[in-house]
Every structure is written in C-alpha cells, then in structure tokens.
Amino acid sequence: MRDVVSNGTAAFRRDGAELRAECTSFLGTVVEDAGADGVVVELDGGVESSAVATVAVEALGPERVYGLVLPSSKLGSRSAQDAEAIAAALGIETDTVHLQPLLMCFGDTVPEHTDLHGDPIVRAHLVARLRMAITYLAAEARNRLVVGSVTRTEFLLGSTTRHGDRAADLFPLGGLYSTEVEALGDDLELPSFVTETPPLVGQYPGETAKYGIDAPPETVDAVLYGLVEDGWTAERISRELDIDREIVDRIARHRRETARDRREPPMGPVGEAASD
C-alpha cells in the first residue's frame, strides 16, 4: 500500500528493501506455481530490465535466468553493451541476437504497401514484436516463463507495444511507478552505467523525451497518480501539486489518445460452461 500525505497526493513508496522483497517473492512464487524451470529476460541495458534480471537471480539463482540482448540497429549498440555487462555481472547465460537481418527480410517479404522505413512507429512496433517472438521461442524451448519489464507508469501511459513488450507471463514491476522502480534500483545497487547514463529517450525514433512527454518522470508519475488513483481533475492536479496546467493536460491527452492501445481485446459472449 502507498502512503498518502496531508494534501491527498500519493507519497510514492521509497523503501527499496521492501519493494525488493515483494518483487523477489512475487517472481519466485509465480515461477514455482507454474512449474517452470526458470525465466527468460530481454535485457536492454535500462534500469527496468536490469532490475527485473537482478530480482530474478535473487529469486531463482543465476542458473535459472536466461538473458536475451536484441539490438535492432547501430543506435542501440551502447544499450546492448550495457545489457551484456549486466548479464556478466549477474552471472547469467546470455545470447545477443542482432535483428537487422531479420528486419531486412521482413522488408523484402511484406506486401508492397507496407513501408517499414516510412513510418518509424510502425517499425518500432515491429521490432518490439520480433523481440518478443524470439524471447518466447527461447522460453518455450527451455520450459521457462517470459518476464516483462513494463512498469505501471508505462502501462498507464500506453507507452508499450501490444504483443510486444506488453506480452509476458509476469510483470514484477507492473504495479510500480517509475519513481518507485528508481528506489528499487537503488536498493539493488545497479551499476552506475545503468542508473547514471541518460537513456535513449522516447519510445520511437525522433522522440526527444521519455514516454514522448517533455516532463520529468516524477512529474509524469504524480499527474498519473492524480488522474488514475485519486480521480482528480486536471485543474485540481495542477492546483494541488503546483504543476503547470499545460503539462497536466498534455499527459491527460496522451492517456486519452492511447486508450485503444491500452484496452484488452473484447471477448464475445460465451456460454457459462465455456467461460472458464
């Protein structure tokens, strides 16, 4: 449970040790209940995937954690190197698979009207889905579960790809805002090259801000909490939290625009006997 400060706004959880224990217990329980031999983690060199891999090693041991590093271009080479360094520090088996040849094959195979080079968003979604396809291929070959690294912040913003990074068997960070993941990372003592190196911002090529929103992550979290958990209006959030109204409106508009992508697919009517 999150504490609430006197003005009614969320005081994000800062006890990294408590978060660490909860995430570790959650991951271990899910894997054991599933009868799986371990987990597969896609490592991108960022705080989230590094935290998930570290928690997985603590819960299961390094021999039951397998890492995949899946760069898609030269722009991701720095992140890939960081991911490989994390894997080496954790002592887990890891493979690096470059997706560029696969993307070139797709470009030569898909229908002519599908331009993988003209729309960066289409390409980014394809890359995310290729990564997840490879991750699940490895997981099924090893009787393992796929562990996702998406946070509550990303879920609420829709800063994910359906059947891409949003496809996994469990999300240890799925209930944590990015502010709380930062506290978890501090307690895990993630290397400085992960926590201090500026991330490759934006979900898509050309974006210049994390989540595509030009605001500090802690501000994004505070606004999201007000909108979703407290049910406050944009006006009240701006007033109570002293956040520029334009920023609040921008985040609220982003959530509205991604509503379709955040919804689970509708299910048709079924009989009672077939509903389980």
Report the pLDDT value the prediction gives residue 199, as an integer from 0 to 100. 54
Report the pLDDT value the prediction gives residue 11, as an integer from 0 to 100. 74
Among candidates 153, 175, 151, which has minimal Cα distance to 26?
A: 175
pLDDT digits (tens, 9 = 90+) for 243-273: 999 999 999 999 999 998 888 888 898 765 5
What would the mean pLDDT of 56-68 be, rounded to a whole number?
A: 98
53 within 8 A of 82, measured Cβ to Cβ: no
Q: Does residue 221 carry a pLDDT above 90?
A: yes
38: left (phi over 0), alpha (psi -120 to 50) or beta: left
What is the percent of the chain where pLDDT is above 70?
86
What would the mean pLDDT of 31-38 be, rounded to a whole number?
A: 98
Report the pLDDT value the prediction gives residue 135, as an integer from 0 to 100. 97
What would the mean pLDDT of 161-172 be, rounded to a whole number?
A: 95
pLDDT digits (tens, 9 = 90+) for 85-144: 999 999 999 999 999 888 888 777 877 777 666 678 888 888 999 999 999 999 999 999
Report the pLDDT value the prediction gives residue 150, as an integer from 0 to 100. 96
Q: How many CA atoms lie within 13 A of 165 on its CB side?
A: 22
Q: Does residue 39 carry a pLDDT above 60?
A: yes
What mean pLDDT, rounded, does the chain reach?
87
Report the pLDDT value the prediction gives residue 207, as an integer from 0 to 100. 47
Q: How confident is the model at residue 8 (pLDDT cuts 50, 70, 90)?
A: very low
Among candidates 44, 25, 71, 78, which has minimal Cα distance to 148?
A: 44
What fold is seen in the domain 14-210?
Answer: Rossmann fold (3.40.50)
Report the pLDDT value the prediction gives residue 75, as an integer from 0 to 100. 61
What would the mean pLDDT of 66-73 be, rounded to a whole number?
A: 93
